[in-house]
Amino acid sequence: MRTAFWSLLLLGIVACSQPATEVAQEESTDIWMDSLILPGETHFAHIRQMTFGGDNAEAYWSFDDQKLIFQAKNDAWGAPCDRIYVTGWEDTWTDTPAPMISNGKGRTTCAYFLPGDTTVLYASTHLAMDTCPPVPERGPGGKYVWPIYPSYDIFVSDLDGNILSQLTDAPGYDAEATVSPKGDKIVFTSDRSGDLELYVMNIDGSDLIQVTNTLGYDGGAFFSPDGTQLVWRASRPTTDEEVKAYKDLLREGLVEPTNMELFVANIDGSDARQVTQLGKANWCPYFHPSGKKILFASNHATERGFPFNLYLINVDGTGLEQVTAEDAFSAFPVFSNNGKYLAFSSNRNNGGTRDTNLFIAEWKD
């Protein structure tokens, strides 16, 4: 459900330890499309486009950096709502769909490779219904809202689409799961406490602990490269009016994502601290390979709430730097485990449509 903001907005408008991985990537010199690098995008040495058409997002690398798992909504692929797909990092997809991992029922989101790269986890609503759940109307005053589907649970699947296990079965929303680079922990968002909080569990679903316990939406969390910290987005309603609005929406299975800041904490929730104080929507954060910076998407620099661009910031909140130069949308940045490549979603090169596609850039500092 990390992509809900992206989808609704568009509708409204461990370190690499395998040398073979690096060799395979470095030898691929004919796949780049460097004309797609926009002026000012100095962190991109090369770039290529992976998908052409539909709404594609949340591309996460396998542990060996050879594959990515992602979600897409694409009528040409027979996907009326988000489905989970797998691809090689050099592949390109147009009208022919990538291999689908999810079972084609319900709505799916937030897929992530598990250690060994032969299984993945993702959240799905398929136990409640075969069809896609309804997309909510705008909230009070026409504001954007995200659906918090209570039928989401987290499942493990092999790469042939066979569901092997179910990791959550508590009543309510369980989604937004990601895996530690160490391969030992999973973090996810749940409303099992009555609020949207972060939880960490072992890779097999055991030893569940609650990480956050502050009123407001906590979600979209990722581990630091060494697996000791988390970064996530959060809303923090403070006034009586804000608290009432948040609770009223949550009772309807909704959350408003237009005012979110970034937080960092240890994986047990200790030493939690706010990183950004930019206003508006700051989200989809991901640690830089150094562990000292965070890459994220934000619309704080615009009055109209659009465009979204990628920014870098130090973990102490200093040194804000703009990375992309979109006039529309860039988000969902994810570094490869070897730190050399960045997968992200963008509206660039979409021919004036609303398509959001996947891109890979070779990163340089």
Question: What average pLDDT does the segment 182-188 reach?
Answer: 98
Rounded Cα distance, 150 and 19, in Å: 43
Supply the DSSP symbol for 75.
Answer: G
Coil, strand or helix at 338? coil
Per-residue pLDDT at 136: 87
Block residue for tokens 């992200």:
344
Altogether, the residues listed in the chain come to a count of 365
Share above pLDDT 90 across residues of the chain, in percent, rounded to a whole number: 87
Per-residue pLDDT at 171: 95
Per-residue pLDDT at 31: 85
Rounded Cα distance, 54 and 95, in Å: 10
The secondary element (H helix, E strand) that includes residue 272 is none
Confidence band (pLDDT; 50, 70, 90) for 142?
confident
| pLDDT tens, position by position, 47-81 | 999 999 999 999 999 999 999 999 999 999 999 99
Question: What average pLDDT does the segment 267-273 reach?
Answer: 97
Distance set, CA 14 to CA 62, 104, 159, 171, 343 (Å)? 10, 31, 21, 33, 17
Per-residue pLDDT at 2: 55
Strands (E), 90-145: 108-113, 119-124
Rounded Cα distance, 254 and 144, in Å: 10
Coil, strand or helix at 260? strand
Q: Would you say 294 and 315 are in contact if contact means Cβ atoms under 8 Å apart?
A: yes
Per-residue pLDDT at 261: 98
* Predicted TM-score (pTM) of this structure: 0.91
Q: Which of 46-50, 137-141, 290-294 has the lowest mean pLDDT?
A: 137-141
* Burial tier of 106 (Cβ tally within 10 Å: 0-12, 13-18, 19+): buried
- Choose among 82, 55, 9, 71: nearest CA to 280: 9
Q: Would you say 334 and 19 are in contact if contact means Cβ atoms under 8 Å apart?
A: no
For 180-237, the DSSP string reads -TTSSEEEEEE-TTSS-EEEEEETTS-S-EE---SSS-EEEEEE-TTSSEEEEEE---
Rounded Cα distance, 204 and 200, in Å: 11
Q: Would you say 72 and 101 are in contact if contact means Cβ atoms under 8 Å apart?
A: no
**CATH class of domain segment(s) 4-363:** mainly beta
* Burial tier of 119 (Cβ tally within 10 Å: 0-12, 13-18, 19+): middle
Assess whether pLDDT exceeds 80 at residue 1: no
Assess whether pLDDT exceeds 50 at residue 21: no
Tell me what the pLDDT averaged over the chain comes to: 92
Question: What average pLDDT does the segment 328-337 reach?
Answer: 97
Rounded Cα distance, 146 and 6, in Å: 10
- Choose among 345, 340, 334: nearest CA to 231: 334
